[in-house]
Amino acid sequence: MSTRTTPAAAVEVPRLEDKTIQPIPANERHGKARDLFTIWFGSNIMIMTIVTGGLATTVFGLHFVPAIVGIIIGNLVGGIFMALHSAQGPQLGVAQMIQTRGQFGSYGALLIVVIVVIMYVGFFAANLVFGGEAMAAVNPGISVDAGIIVIGVVSVVATIFGYRLIHAYARFLSIVAGLALVLAFVWILAVHGLPASFLDEGNFNWVGFMATISVSALWQLAYAPYVSDYSRYMPQGTGSAPAFWASYSGCVLGTLFPMILGALVGTLAVTMSNDAGSVEIVGSLGALLQPWTMIVIGIFCLGVAASNAMNLYCGVLCSLTIGQTFKPNWLPRAKTRSVAALILFTLAVLIALFARDNFILFYTNFLSFLMYVLVPWTAINLVDYYLLRHGDYRVEDFFKRDGGVYGRFNWVAIGSYITGALIQVPFSATAIYTGPLAAAMGGVDLSWIVGLAVVAPLYYFAARLFRNKSDAAHFQTPAFATELI
């Protein structure tokens, strides 16, 4: 496969996206690498990002300074993996979960796709709850349930229109939400001020510090299964390095500052209440921002709708991928995407309405679950793409029932994935279960680090040793990603 092509002179992109999981043709490839910066920067400035950052100084009980250090480390490290996945989109022109068939086989990939659908629905529900609470906080005339419905409906509309509208929405948010974020920091720091005891609140503990790093890294890693869905329309000649750096800088910066704001609000709220367990980040932020509460939090709610549109859009693509696995000739279009979006929307809304009263506990456990299931997959995908195949795949074989050269099941990838999931268990520390090795370290969770360290070399050497003869040539191609590795 060529690594550099000139995009068609006449780009024909319908306003209502009619593509779903099929490869994007050359005459519909459009956009520039900078579009990847705005979609990840704008969509991350939202309530859920702020709440996640607030976990460091409330649930994890950290001082403000180590909380910020943990947030920075987690985002800088996790963003690397996120951006490496994003750089795959312009080269292959297909959704990330379709490309996963190249590692796991046509049926073997279903293991990952089903897990990822669960992830999308979970994040959609979490966004609905936090967004609904935010809307209710700034406007007492709106109930939390009503806020959940409003944000959900906006997300569905954006999903139905698809790729172009979501990108345009994120470009708008990059400016508007970025300014709202600056206003929030200026108002809290320069106008509201910090109490004398601010830096004395909380403590340093390795459990909380590592948990903060893990949650921040996971925020980035959670985009990995769908980040290339938003780069697959880029011209193939976009280049892997520009796509990498635009995605990395946009997602890291767009996440870092809202999380820092959340940690700041969490510390201030704990200082005033002297009870970390009772702190409610959205309400505390609203109280600190008076009289700008309605404007700033209202804008952050727009970010919730953008993020949810992205979750729903990619959840739909994954759901369609499941169906197409069993009916290879079926290539769904806009109408099917719309119906699938409504079904997933209904499911997520029911979860949000049912679980909203105790959602922080649900959310923290949900994040832990995602860490264990996403880390092995991302290690396998990146090793396969950059170190073994060097970006050279037979895209047409992704859509064959028998998987073409990739087969129905790649037991090397499946075995490496299961090994990676199991190897994390002794090192895990959650509210539900603490492994023996994590307990021996005082509850410090190193599971995701161990998972990456074990799975990456395991899959690399096992794949080279047991690779399918019909697929062997792809391990010998010239390096596609020399500009990155």
For the ranges 15-29, 214-228, 396-410, 437-451, the lowest mean pLDDT is seen at 15-29
Cβ-based burial of 397 (10 A; exposed 0-12, middle 13-18, buried ≥19): middle
For residues 268-290, average pLDDT: 78
> Would 207 be classed as within a structural domain?
yes
> Would 473 be classed as within a structural domain?
no
Say how far residue 203 (Cα) sits from the centre of its chain: 29
Whose tokens are 């005891």? That residue is 197
Q: Kindly list the distances between the CA atom of residue 428 and the CA atoms of 43, 52, 72, 379, 447, in Å, as whole numbers in the listed order.
A: 30, 20, 22, 18, 5
For the ranges 87-96, 135-144, 206-215, 444-453, the lowest mean pLDDT is seen at 135-144
For the ranges 82-86, 273-277, 428-432, the lowest mean pLDDT is seen at 273-277
3-state secondary structure of 62: strand
DSSP line for 314-371: HHHHHHHHHHHHH-TT----HHHHHHHHHHHHHHHHHHHHHHGGGHHHHHHHHHHHHH
Q: How high is the pLDDT of residue 431?
A: 72
> Would 200 be classed as within a structural domain?
yes
- Residue 167, domain extent: 26-466
Quick check: 44 pLDDT over 90? yes
Number of structural domains (the chain) is: 1
Q: Domain of 337: which CATH number?
A: 1.10.4160.10
> Would 483 be classed as within a structural domain?
no
* Amino acid at the residue 130: F
> Would 224 be classed as within a structural domain?
yes
Where residue 229 falls among pLDDT bands split at 50, 70, 90?
confident
Which of 108-117, 270-279, 424-433 reaches the highest mean pLDDT?
A: 108-117
* Whether 443 contacts 429, CB under 8 Å: yes
Run of H or E including 478:
none
31: alpha, beta or left? (left if phi > 0; alpha if psi -120 to 50): left
Q: How high is the pLDDT of residue 15?
A: 67
Residues with Cβ within 8 Å of 382's Cβ and at least 6 positions away in sequence, in order, are 81, 84, 85, 456
3-state secondary structure of 2: coil
For residues 184-207, average pLDDT: 87
Mean pLDDT, all residues of the chain: 85
Q: How high is the pLDDT of residue 480?
A: 42
> Would 84 be classed as within a structural domain?
yes
Quick check: 376 pLDDT over 90? yes
For residues 317-340, average pLDDT: 87
User: 462 versus 27: which is more confidently predicted?
Assistant: 462
Task: State percent of the chain over pLDDT 70.
Answer: 90
Sign of the torsion angle spanned by Cα atoms 343, 336, 29, 13: negative
Q: How high is the pLDDT of residue 414?
A: 95
Where residue 415 falls among pLDDT bands split at 50, 70, 90?
very high
Structural tokens at position 245 = 């750096």
Residues with Cβ within 8 Å of 342's Cβ and at least 6 positions away in sequence, in order, are 156
> Would 213 be classed as within a structural domain?
yes
- What pTM value is reported for the model? 0.86
> Would 20 be classed as within a structural domain?
no
3-state secondary structure of 203: strand
Quick check: 225 pLDDT over 70? yes
Long-range pairs, 9-17, Cβ under 8 A, ≥24:
13/164, 13/233, 15/161, 15/164, 16/160, 16/161, 16/162, 16/334, 17/161, 17/162, 17/163, 17/164, 17/334, 17/337
